[in-house]
Structure 1
Amino acid sequence: MSLLSDKSHRRYNPLLGEWVLVSPHRGKRPWQGQQEAPASNAAASYDDKCYLCPGNTRITGDTNPAYTGTYVFQNDFPALQNEGDSSADELREPDPLFHYRAVTGESRVICFSPDHSKSLPQLSCAEIVGVINTWTTQMAELAQHYQWVQVFENKGAVMGCSNPHPHGQIWAQNQLPTEAAKIDANLKAYQLKYDNNLLLDYVARELESGERLVDVNDDWVTLVPFWACWPFELMLLPRFKVEDFGQLSTAQKASLAEILKASLSRYDNLFQCSFPYSMGWRTAPFNAENNQHWQLHAVFFPPLLRSASVKKFMVGYEMLAEAQRDITPEQAAQRLRDCSTTHYLES
């Protein structure tokens, strides 16, 4: 990829069927724009004003139990509601300009730990396994009623997180959302054309190349994808065939916890701050169909570009034309590999 290291070019994302403009020469331009306040890891283990800490009362008046591991509750302000007639719109002729569809679902919050001060990379591997087990049980429960179950985390105020207590969310709905529908179609098309799984083929190629890898163990890989959009975007992929969390063994969950702790520690170490991101798991839909074309994986979209205070803005060209990035995925992967897997606050 040396020919692409300093010339503008476009890269294709086969999951979404979209292109990304890469402009590595722009990294040299001076920055005089907005700077964010760096997110600090320094916090107390308990905050009596936090709505998510154990024993505290939330805005609704409900009181959190004195939980000691993970804690899950129905979102007090859910984006999806489980009442309503999801077939109501199917009874009328769709209007090509004003077409709508009713949707039902649920929104839940997952507190990773009772400790207000510890984000995922600061938890022990055993505690991260506890988070993975919670993802697994929650998805299995919601999959009984909904076609798509989205586990995600918005970390940091810069990514819209409204509460600093380390937590994630899980939204379930009765239809495939837009991104999932695109990925489903592209994975299926690849399977039909090449008689193989796109992401298994992709992992094999990345392991062979090595230039975008960040962390590797016997079961999992983290890498900056070839088509990455965000500056230090990561993808976490299994090295074995698996469609959802329910198929993971105890050993595979343990190795997943290890690589999550290592790679997310590199994130925090990059700019010596609590590294913000939006992350999410993508699993096969729960629709009773043959989903062999699917492969479990996670993506991390962090906004920081040059430092703990300078972020990447998706505006202008990105909103009107297509995604654009200033450093190559290979350069980003090298910078992350250069970071330690031991969290800087533990050094």
Structure 2
Amino acid sequence: MDFDLHEHPHRRYNPLTGEYILVSPHRMKRPWQGQVEKSEEEIRPQHDPDCYLCPGNSRVGGEQNPQYKNTFVFTNDFAALKEDVPSGSLEKGDLLRAKSEKGICKVICFSPRHDLTLPQMEVSEIVKVIELWQKEYQELGSHPEINYVQIFENKGQMMGCSNPHPHGQIWAQSTVPMEPVLECKHQGDYLQKYGRSLLEDYVKQELEEKERIVLENEHFVTLVPFWAVWPFETMIISKRHIANILQFTKEEKQAYAQMLKQLTILYDNLFETSFPYSAGIHQSPTDGLEYKEWHFHHHFYPPLLRSATVKKFMVGYEMLGDPQRDITAESSAERLRNLPRVHYKESKP
């Protein structure tokens, strides 16, 4: 019997982190007795007087939002990181260690409209979001005590989002977090070994095989990574080897906005629901070093598995051993790729 990637259990390697995932494609043939129904679509107003992110409303901390017309950013009223943390540490031998961490946390409202999400926004409006990401990455990264700026979005109650108003967050801190540290190391090792960008070579190989490509335009590719953990996980990767969001040309910024809109439309169309996910940008740290190895990319980690209400859980073996998935990266890419490009709400009479 010959080994078949689409039939037999196997482990896949993640070259960005050095980690592995167990893939069990044969389990897709087992009977399913879980939920499959669609969730009821929530109808939200354009402006919610009780929303602390809507224009003109008061936030929990007492500050009043301006009557903003496009994007709006403010320092998080309940930030996980703070600037005024005294320097200090605790060390009790090699086993008990702690060190103070300084940082700045911000909230970015994508739109003044309470009822919109990225797939329903105009490309020109998403460009304004990208421009604000650029501004905040540059300004926060220029602080002498800020060495990494993490831009991300949690969408949907399923991902712990406490407010449905379209928004994301930025956590900027003095230490580079572990996930970017791993990606930095493996990209650096690859550059030293081959003299080329890891993700540039990876994109070229994926474009040749085409099996895991979901979307493509002149400047960006969206694909399901060969090593994807979540059922419909994707990455947006720049075709050009650039380290961070500040290096975009005007054309790349427009193409990136188009890609964000197109991908999130596909997600919503998959189960005809406002698709939940955690997503974030990985780019070079801001500690003043060059980071020739870094290649800009945007991760999307959505939890939904079989319907608008059934999600994948990380339990049992996955918490104690390796992550595991049943649906292969190739089959999830095919499903996303074949979905309509028009948002399901716009296509209904």
Q: Same fold (TM over 0.5)?
A: yes
Q: Is the 8 A contact 1:151 1:280 kept in 2?
A: yes
Paired with 1:208 and 1:305, the residues of 2 have a C-alpha distance of: 28
Unaligned runs of 5+ in 2: none
| Secondary structure of the structure 2 residue equivalent to 1:299 | strand
| Secondary structure of the structure 1 residue equivalent to 2:104 | strand
Paired with 2:213 and 2:38, the residues of 1 have a C-alpha distance of: 30
Q: Structure 1 residue 35: deviation in Å? A: 7.7
The answer for the alignment partner of 1:180 in structure 2 is 180
Paired with 1:318 and 1:33, the residues of 2 have a C-alpha distance of: 20
Q: Report the CA distance shift for 1:215/1:272 in structure 2 as closer, same or farther (over 3 A).
A: same
Q: Structure 1 residue 257: deviation in Å? A: 0.8
Q: Report the CA distance shift for 1:35/1:55 in structure 2 as closer, same or farther (over 3 A).
A: farther
Listed one character per residue, the Cα deviations across residues 319-347 of structure 1 (whole Å, up to 9, x for unaligned) are 11011111000000000011112111122
The answer for the alignment partner of 1:130 in structure 2 is 128
Instruction: Indicate yes or no: 2:116 matched with 1:118.
Output: yes
Q: Report the CA distance shift for 1:34/1:317 in structure 2 as closer, same or farther (over 3 A).
A: farther
Q: Report the CA distance shift for 1:50/1:110 in structure 2 as closer, same or farther (over 3 A).
A: same
Partner amino acid, structure 1, of 2:268: D
Q: Report 1:266-285 matches (<5 A).
A: 266-285=266-285
Q: Report 1:146-185 matches (<5 A).
A: 146-185=146-185
The answer for the alignment partner of 1:346 in structure 2 is 346
The answer for the alignment partner of 1:10 in structure 2 is 11
The answer for the alignment partner of 1:314 in structure 2 is 314
Partner amino acid, structure 1, of 2:120: Q
Paired with 1:284 and 1:36, the residues of 2 have a C-alpha distance of: 42
Q: Structure 1 residue 32: deviation in Å? A: 4.2
Paired with 2:115 and 2:29, the residues of 1 have a C-alpha distance of: 36
Q: Is the 8 A contact 1:271 1:308 kept in 2?
A: yes
Paired with 1:213 and 1:177, the residues of 2 have a C-alpha distance of: 29
Q: Structure 1 residue 40: deviation in Å? A: 3.0
Q: Is the 8 A contact 1:41 1:273 kept in 2?
A: no
| Secondary structure of the structure 2 residue equivalent to 1:330 | helix
Q: CA RMSD, aligned part only? A: 1.7
Q: Structure 1 residue 290: deviation in Å? A: 2.3
Q: Report 1:166-245 matches (<5 A).
A: 166-245=166-245
Paired with 2:5 and 2:201, the residues of 1 have a C-alpha distance of: 23
Q: Report the CA distance shift for 1:35/1:95 in structure 2 as closer, same or farther (over 3 A).
A: farther
Aligned residues: 344
Q: Is the 8 A contact 1:35 1:311 kept in 2?
A: no
Q: Is the 8 A contact 1:39 1:274 kept in 2?
A: no
Q: Is the 8 A contact 2:110 2:167 kept in 1?
A: yes
Q: Structure 1 residue 31: deviation in Å? A: 3.8
Paired with 1:38 and 1:151, the residues of 2 have a C-alpha distance of: 29
Q: Structure 1 residue 37: deviation in Å? A: 7.6
Q: Percent identity of the aligned residues?
A: 50
| Secondary structure of the structure 2 residue equivalent to 1:280 | strand
| Secondary structure of the structure 1 residue equivalent to 2:345 | coil
More moved, 39-48 vs 116-125: 39-48
Q: Is the 8 A contact 2:91 2:97 kept in 1?
A: no
Q: Report the CA distance shift for 1:37/1:334 in structure 2 as closer, same or farther (over 3 A).
A: closer
Partner amino acid, structure 2, of 1:201: D
Instruction: Indicate yes or no: 2:231 matched with 1:246.
Output: no
Partner amino acid, structure 2, of 1:205: Q
The answer for the alignment partner of 1:141 in structure 2 is 139
Q: Is the 8 A contact 1:152 1:170 kept in 2?
A: yes
Listed one character per residue, the Cα deviations across residues 170-202 of structure 1 (whole Å, up to 9, x for unaligned) are 000011111111111111111111111101111
Instruction: Indicate yes or no: 2:63 matched with 1:62.
Output: yes
Q: Report the CA distance shift for 1:41/1:292 in structure 2 as closer, same or farther (over 3 A).
A: farther
The answer for the alignment partner of 2:96 in structure 1 is 98
TM-score, normalization: structure 1?
0.95
TM-score, normalization: structure 2?
0.95
| Secondary structure of the structure 2 residue equivalent to 1:292 | coil
Q: Structure 1 residue 259: deviation in Å? A: 1.2
Paired with 2:204 and 2:239, the residues of 1 have a C-alpha distance of: 8
The answer for the alignment partner of 2:50 in structure 1 is 49
Listed one character per residue, the Cα deviations across residues 40-83 of structure 1 (whole Å, up to 9, x for unaligned) are 36321111111111111111111111111011011110000111
Q: Report the CA distance shift for 1:112/1:39 in structure 2 as closer, same or farther (over 3 A).
A: farther
Paired with 1:328 and 1:149, the residues of 2 have a C-alpha distance of: 32
The answer for the alignment partner of 1:295 in structure 2 is 295
Q: Is the 8 A contact 2:187 2:294 kept in 1?
A: yes
Q: Structure 1 residue 28: deviation in Å? A: 2.9
Partner amino acid, structure 2, of 1:327: I
Q: Structure 1 residue 131: deviation in Å? A: 0.5
